[in-house]
Each structure stands twice: as structure tokens, then as C-alpha cells.
Amino acid sequence: MKTYAIAAIPGDGIGTEVVAAGIEVLVAIAKRDGGFAFKIDHFDWGGEYCKKHGRMMPENGRDQIRKHDAILFGSAGHPDIPDHITLWGLRLAICQPFDQYANVRPTRVLPGITSPLRNVNGGELDWVIVRENSEGEYAGVGGRVHQGSPLEAATDVAMFTRAGVERIMRFAFRLARSRPRKLLTVVTKSNAQRHAMVMWDEIATQIAAEFRDVTWDKMLVDAMTMRMVMRPETIDTVVATNLHADILSDLAAALAGSLGIAPTANLNPERTFPSMFEPIHGSAFDIMGKGVANPIGTFWSAVMMLDHLGEKNAADRLMKAIERVTADKRFHTPDLGGKARTADVTAGVVDAIQGANT
């Protein structure tokens, strides 16, 4: 029987709560499927680890997970440590060296969940946002001088490479082609940012020529926020820069009912390195330790992990189990207006996995 080695990195805050729930569900789905198993290795990296060891993960941390089949991640973010330290010290320290350049974020309004948009109750909102995940505004290029003096200056340089833009455009066009509507929106800001964003647009046009069967359009990021709210049904697949897609995908998650539902895959499409799966939300300091975090975003990320591993049947079965549970308001956590706890939702999904119809 095939056994997949999974590196579980819960991180901090509700990351620990939702990853524990995610593992329960993964174990249940493997058992139900019968064709594969998981070997799960736990890594206690993150803010608490940093307080003891002075860094978010060990120096050889990446070597410890390089050979795993996939990574299940919770959240990098600790109340006592500045966000740029936790993010760069853990999440980006994995994503960037492992060249997980395609960040894929599906959005749908799941059964039983209400979108804050009037007129939207299901099929009108079925998007996938592709976020460039290796460069752009998060390239880490920049500096700070004369700290504390009136002459202090700081820069964050958004760096785009032709190779980086070509590969994300190709990935997005290919993904758009694989979906029924074959529709791609390229998000840009080439009116104000007249160098890199203009190159971004030019490369989009060049790559589009390789995908004549995909209909595509181009949209300025500010106008895109309006379109997401006013005309959600006109959108299918979206590609945007690291920063733009970061922001748009939180909006997308909220429009689908809650940030607690939304999943992410950080893919290394060439499979030279393991890919990483995580809910898009963070540590949620306001609810951590209370047992009420919505684990659906992590479960849906587990679906994406199963898909990536090639376990299509198990992925479909888990998604069906998730939808059965969201359809039942008794399983709604407080972010969805309900009273359920993380453990209730988890038990509900495990039950649904074991049920005859999934």
C-alpha cells in the first residue's frame, strides 16, 4: 500500500487547532479509501519554538522536510513576535526556497453557507485565484537606512523576472483551460506601475497566444475588487501578483462566507520539492485556544493535497463530506453565525467520510 509522508507544521495560534483537526480528517479519509496511508511527522516550529531557540525553525529545517510528499501548514504568527519575523522565518522560508511559485486559492460558496453578497447563493461564485508566490512585492529586496533619524529611508522593491512571470502565466492559462468556462482574468496595475506591470501585461499577451482556446481579459486591481462584488458571475480563473492576489483572495474568502473556509495550495508544479497546503487565514489571536476555529479551510486544503498526491477519489469523497457538513447549520462555527466547535465540525466530517454515500 502506498504511504505518503506528510510534514505537519501547525505553527501558532489557531494553526495548532486546525492542523490537528486536519490530521484527524486525513487519517479518516485514508482509512475509508483503503488504498493508501499517511505517515505524519510533526514539527513544532513557529513562535513558541522561536522563544526557546531564537529562530522560527531549525537551521536544517528544510532538510528535515525536503523528502516528504507534502506539507500541511497551519499559521505563522505569534502575539509576542513581529509579523515580518514570523512570516519570513517560517512560511516564506519554506515557500520560496522550495520554489512553490504557484499559490492556488479556490473560492466557492459551499452548501449551507451565506455569502454577504445579495443575489449570490451558489454557482455564481466559483473562482480560482492564482497568486504568484515567489517574487514580486514579496521578493524581499529593499533596505532601510538612517533608522530613527529624520533622514530615515526605506524601500521594498517589487522584483519581477521574465522567467517568473512566464511560468505563472502559463500555469494560470493551463488551469483556466482545465476548467469548464476556460476564462482567465489577468490582474494588473500597469497604469501606475509602468515598468514591471507593463512587462507583466506583455508576457500575458505572449503566453495567451499559446492558449487560443482560453478567453482572457485584463483588469486593474482596484477595478477588480469592484467586479468581484458587483459582477462575481463574470469571473472564473484569476492570476495576480503576490501582493494583489494576497489581498484579492481575502476578499474572495469573505465573499464566500468566511475567511475560515478558504484553502490554499502552495505548489511546486515541477515536484522538485514538496508542495505545501494551508488554510489562508492566520493565527486568529482573538479566538485562539477557545476551540471555536473553523477547520473547513484546512479540510479543503487537505482536499487539494489529496488531488496533488493523485488520490482523486479520496479528494472528491472528502469534498463531498465537507459539503454535507457545511449544509447542516448545526455544524456552523461562530464565524458562520453558529455555535459549533472545531471538534464538532471535525467529528461531523469524519462521520460523513464514514457514511455510505461519500
- The number of helix segments (H) and strand segments (E) in the chain equals 12, 12
Least separation in angstroms between residue 136's CB and ligand NAD is 17
CB 321 within 8 A of CB 349: yes
The closest residue (CB) to ligand NAD is 282
Q: Are strands 2-11 and 36-42 parallel, antiparallel or unpaired?
A: parallel
Binding partner of 246, given Mn ion, ligand NAD, none, CB within 5-8 angstroms per partner class: Mn ion
Of the candidate spans 17-25, 107-115, 136-144, 238-246, the one that interacts with Mn ion by CB under 5 A turns out to be 238-246
**For 36, phi and psi rounded to 5 degrees?**
-155, 165
Build a one-symbol-per-residue string for 327-356: x at contacts with Mn ion by CB under 5 A, - elsewhere: ------------------------------
Is residue 137 at the binding interface for Mn ion, with CB under 5 A as the rule?
Answer: no
Query: Interface with Mn ion by CB under 5 A: which range of 221-229, 241-249, 327-335, 338-346?
Result: 241-249
CB of 250 or CB of 307, closer to ligand NAD: 250
Smallest distance from ligand NAD to CB 101, Å: 16
Closer to ligand NAD by CB, 185 or 294: give it: 294
Could you tell me the smallest distance in angstroms from the CB atom of residue 5 to ligand NAD?
Answer: 22
Q: Give whichever of 137 and 246 is closer to Mn ion, judged by the CB atom.
A: 246
The contact set with ligand NAD (CB under 6 A) reads 14, 18, 75-77, 83, 86-87, 91, 259-260, 278, 281-287, 293-294, 297, 333, 335
| Residue 323: CB minimum distance to ligand NAD, A | 17
CB of 73 to ligand NAD, least distance (A): 7
Q: Where does residue 283 rank: exposed (0-12), middle (13-18), buried (19+ CB within 10 A)?
A: buried
Residues contacting 281, CB < 8 A, separation 6+: 14, 75, 253, 259, 260, 262, 297
**Nearest to ligand NAD of 85, 199 (CB atom):** 85
- CA-to-CA distance for 217 and 233, rounded, in angstroms? 14
Beta strands in 69-204 (DSSP E): 70-75, 102-108, 126-132, 136-145, 153-159, 183-188
Shortest Å distance, C-beta 170 to ligand NAD: 25
Q: Are 172 and 185 in contact (CB under 8 A)?
A: no
Site for Mn ion contains 246 (CB under 5 A): yes
Q: Which amino acid is at 319?
A: M
124 vs 110: CA distance, rounded Å: 11
Pairing of strands 136-145, 153-159: antiparallel
For residue 245, give the amino acid letter: A
166: exposed, middle or buried (Cβ count in 10 Å: 0-12, 13-18, 19+): middle
| Least distance CB 118 / ligand NAD (angstroms) | 22
Site for Mn ion, rule CB under 5 A = 246
